[in-house]
Structure 1
Amino acid sequence: MRILLVRHGQSQWNATHRLQGQADIALSETGRSQADALRTTIDGLKPCRAITSDLERVRETAARIGAPDATPIRDLREIDVGDWTGRTTTDIIAEDETAYLAWRAGTGTPPGGEPWEAFADRVTAVIRSEAETPCTNLLVACHGGVIRAILQRFLDLQPASIIPVAPASLTAMRLENGNGKPHRLELFNYRPTSLDFGAPD
């Protein structure tokens, strides 16, 4: 079973480097264009079904890449960043760089935020549940943190070793169900129009 992981396009807060967490922020015009550019790629892969975070920026991305009827799932929301919601990464780093780097590595929790392990547990539970129903290419429209959590839990790639996931990019993972083979990363951060090595959190 292949999992097609798509991060939402650039949001209005991504554009100003503000952490969103579970704040329901819309796509920017750039984000809409990014999602539109990915549609041909997704169409060619012919997903057998699609699920999505229930937040607006992800639901619109899902619709723009060809999955307007994707099933919204609350547990696919981004990690809750608590008191950091709406703050710029520059301000957070200036205040406490150690805390910010620990959060990015999955070892620290923002004040009032969601611990990484609890976040990864809820995301992983969704993917394991979906894997119980046969599907060749499952489309999962979600968030950058969700993708990092999935890569950690299924491929043992630690958050500190994964660059931020680019807006409207495709990451593909092959799940091997009980046949003794390891799960495998097939594609990471693919964008049909450009590479992005400096994606926002």
Structure 2
Amino acid sequence: MRNVKATVSFIPKILFLSLLLDYHSQTSAKMNLFSRSLSAAILFLSSLKPASTLGLPLFSLSNQDAVNVVVIQQVIDLFAVVVDQHRWDLLSQVFQPDVVADFSIPDSPPVHGLDAMIQLLRRFEAYPSFHSQSSHYVDMSNPNRPHAVTYIMGVFFLPERIYTNYGRYEDDLVRTAQGWRIASRTLINTASTGSNNITLV
């Protein structure tokens, strides 16, 4: 009876070792595949031209610059919340008080200062909007005035039609006592669908 119990208790151990060896075999195969893929990726990247030869700044950031880039992206993205939710009280967390901004709106010159910007944006309050901002690039080569490029899509739900605008923001930022703020913004329009012929309030 003792031998039977010993045999029964030994079977799970054999199964466990078998499963462990099988897992190790599969894992090793996956690791070998990963290693080969990684080596191929390294070889491919090493064949690319450095960014400096393409006229682009080398993307090499210190730890502090990397933190600044993330914070700057947050500041820029907050603008979409401000516009779509009409949170004008948050605009001072995005822009400098003396900001200069050109939104490329027909018959609307660049605005100077937060009050003028709020006055302009409020003219669109009657129409729901949806802004999506992505593909950020922050150039920290001038740490005191970094330049940020952000690709955007703005959708405006107008009476009986939808107007969609595609473009990018070109922003210059400064560091203030309250954090990073946009000092200058220019909207570069790329393309649009629908008509934006509306009567602003």
Instruction: Bin the TM-score by the shorter chain.
Output: under 0.3
TM-score, normalised with respect to structure 1 = 0.22
TM-score with structure 2 length normalisation? 0.22
In terms of fraction of residues, the more strand-rich structure is 2
The structure with the larger Rg is 2
Which structure has more relative contact order (CA 8 Å, sep 6+)? It is 1
